[in-house]
Amino acid sequence: IDTAYQVKNITEIVRRYPEAMKDYNHPAWGTSKPGLYYWEQPLLGYYKTTDPWVLRKHAEMLADAGVDAVFFDCTNGSQTWRESYEALMKTWDQARKDGVKVPKISFLLPFGPSDASYEMIKRLYNDVYKVRKYQTLWFTWQGKPMLMGYNDNIPTNNAEDREMKNFFT
């Protein structure tokens, strides 16, 4: 966990200060540093989404559970969380090479028409798909990589955008 942030366990705060549930400004929520809020401590402890040990453990547990695919939730704002997805793909690719049946990956983007949504699709296309980065990890559907987003957001007035639009299911 980044030391610039305080880890806050909501369950513990509410147990200790039940009145805080109705008071956004209650001191229990803290004010000195930005916080990372959790409902409870995760099984593997508080961690960053780029921690290779945690990502490997997730790959193994998801494989053991028979999970076929995971989707990166990029529906809040215009972030694709590149540092996190690259760390996961690197770790899961090595796990796959070591014999772990890791889930395939895809991305869930905003479903509404917006410039940010188009830019996210274009960024992922250029940074991951067009350069075939970790292609063995891609979740495909109907013979193409699947990307959940607003397809009508991609214009068709130039060759690059038409290529990108036709690349995905």
Per-residue pLDDT, 166: 93
Tokens of 49: 């989404």
Per-residue pLDDT, 113: 84
Which of 18-22, 66-70, 106-110, 116-120 has the least mean pLDDT? 116-120
Are residues 86 and 105 in contact, defined by beta-carbon separation less than 8 angstroms?
A: no
pLDDT tens string 107-164: 999 988 888 889 999 999 999 999 999 999 999 999 999 999 888 888 888 999 999 9
pLDDT at residue 69 tops 80: yes
Residue 8 banded pLDDT, cuts 50, 70, 90: confident
Q: Residue 2: phi, psi to the nearest 5? A: -65, 130
pLDDT at residue 76 tops 70: yes
Supply the angle between the helices 52-64 and 82-97 in degrees, to the nearest 10: 60
How far apart CA 76 and CA 87 sit, in angstroms, is 20
Are residues 120 and 109 in contact, defined by beta-carbon separation less than 8 angstroms?
A: yes
